[in-house]
Amino acid sequence: MKIALIAHDKKKTDLVQFSTAYKTILEQHELFATGTTGLRISEATGLQIHRFQSGPLGGDQEIGAMIAKNQMDMVIFFRDPLTAQPHEPDVSALIRLCDVYCVPLATNMGTAEVLIHGLEKGFISWREIIRDRQEESK
């Protein structure tokens, strides 16, 4: 599975802790992240992560492009709902794309834990079927 890891500045430490706690699950998958978030997770865990630009510089849009091409299976995005984000339109677009393309999205620790346990138990494997069907239709 292809998993995107994103966090607003005040939530980066939480996502690093989450990634450390679930390293054994995450290391079985292909990981993508926005710039600084990916660097911090990689340094703390040793996980291999493809890093895009930082969110405000287009990283959210790069991940959104993968979602639109059905090339992303899950998004874990620890948002900071209490701080205004200058790139909020990009954040909204990313969330919208997850809804349009039925990509599981967690925006906080609680839902991220549910998704990661579901991933571990195979409850997200339907994404592989969707991806395979899209590849066959090309």
CATH number of domain containing 29: 3.40.50.1380
Q: What is the pTM of this model?
A: 0.92
Widest pairwise Cα distance in the chain: 43
By C-alpha distance, which of 54, 53, 5 is closest to 31?
A: 5
Structural tokens at position 57: 């510089």
For residues 21, 42, 30, 90, the Cα torsion angle rounded to the nearest 10 degrees is: 100
Q: Which domain holds residue 123?
A: 2-136
- The count of structural domains within the chain is 1
Please give the positions annotated as active site. 60
Q: Smallest Cα–Cα separation from 8: which of 75, 61, 64, 77? A: 77
Q: Over the stretch 33-91, which tens digit does the pLDDT of each residue have? A: 999 999 999 999 999 999 999 888 889 999 999 999 989 999 999 999 888 777 788 88
Average pLDDT, the chain: 92
Number of helices followed by number of strands (H, E) in the chain = 7, 5
